[in-house]
Structure 1
């Protein structure tokens, strides 16, 4: 071995893995956490993930101990998220979707048998132009594939986190996509027209 060359041993990887918090937490709690943050109701969250109400209450207690935060607090007849709960919600959603994609991944994508859900972020105009044809193609070629449509915020660029949560982003050329400059391509082009009066300078 050359002097000064660096090596990474299997022990280095083991030490790195042992430092991960994910190794010390029951991963099933992530599913419960997402349901609790989305629905803000213990009984409804239990129904979504097919747990009993006492089991979901126990999961909430464990989550509160882990985060040292209430996550959900009573407000009138319901619950509200704490500030930490609100910060966690998009992170938990992205984490669950990423894990789901990992377990659904295969060497070959078979549209006929796949039941994967794809997230598409687009403007209302792009959705109106693209989605009708896409739904027709999916019904014929990938009947079990699901599409979740996210509306693109007006006048602001998508954050890198928002881009990573989407499988496809349809946007005008020049629209800001943080961290996505290498994976953009032109999908289609169209001409826009608008009626103007004869007295308008552009007429």
Structure 2
């Protein structure tokens, strides 16, 4: 079974653009259909419908303006519709684009919900660290971990005797 992953959130702290990747479809028909559509285009469509400006939409999803223009061209081919046309105050959605705008949020949410099962995922990291270093390093680190990895448990201890061997054997994760 192939990888199934999804990302839709845009963080101001990262240079990475949002991505939707879905692979591993079971049925050949589904696989063929999904293989012909880059799901990242749905994120581009969402941004275009929200901003109604190619440059602003490109900036929103961290693409270049020419890349967003190419994405719009591909979307027009997929949906066999102009989707957005030039108007006096920017791009104006066609009736088809307005229908897609209503359908898109629940579709993207469902895709992300299928993939991002944060409530089910739990992980534990074991750190071999002396107590006095833990008192210095962990206070600024824990709030960041709670925000970005809420289901990650940190276990610390002074496992310094044989730490390298334990690290190599996978008994501890960080020393």
TM-score by length of 2: 0.51
Larger RCO (alpha carbons 8 Å, 6+ apart): 2
Indicate yes or no: 2:33 matched with 1:14: no
Hey, what's the Cα distance between the residues in 2 that align with 1:16 and 1:26?
16
Match of 1:33 in 2: 45
Hey, what's the Cα distance between the residues in 2 that align with 1:88 and 1:40?
14
- Structure 1 position 102, deviation (Å): 2.2
Match of 1:103 in 2: 115
- In structure 1, stretches of 5+ residues that fail to align are 1-12, 111-142, 146-203
Report how many residues are paired.
Answer: 102
Match of 1:79 in 2: 91
> Cα distance 1:16–1:59, how it changes in 2: closer, same or farther (>3 A)?
closer
> Cα distance 1:14–1:101, how it changes in 2: closer, same or farther (>3 A)?
closer
> Cα distance 1:14–1:108, how it changes in 2: closer, same or farther (>3 A)?
closer
Equivalent residue runs for 1:1-203 within 5 Å: 14-18=27-31, 21-106=33-118, 108=120, 144=147
> Cα distance 1:64–1:16, how it changes in 2: closer, same or farther (>3 A)?
closer
TM-score by length of 1: 0.44
Higher helix share: 2
Q: CA RMSD in A?
A: 2.6
- Structure 1 position 15, deviation (Å): 4.0
> Cα distance 1:90–1:144, how it changes in 2: closer, same or farther (>3 A)?
farther
- In structure 2, stretches of 5+ residues that fail to align are 1-25, 123-145, 149-175
- Structure 1 position 14, deviation (Å): 3.1
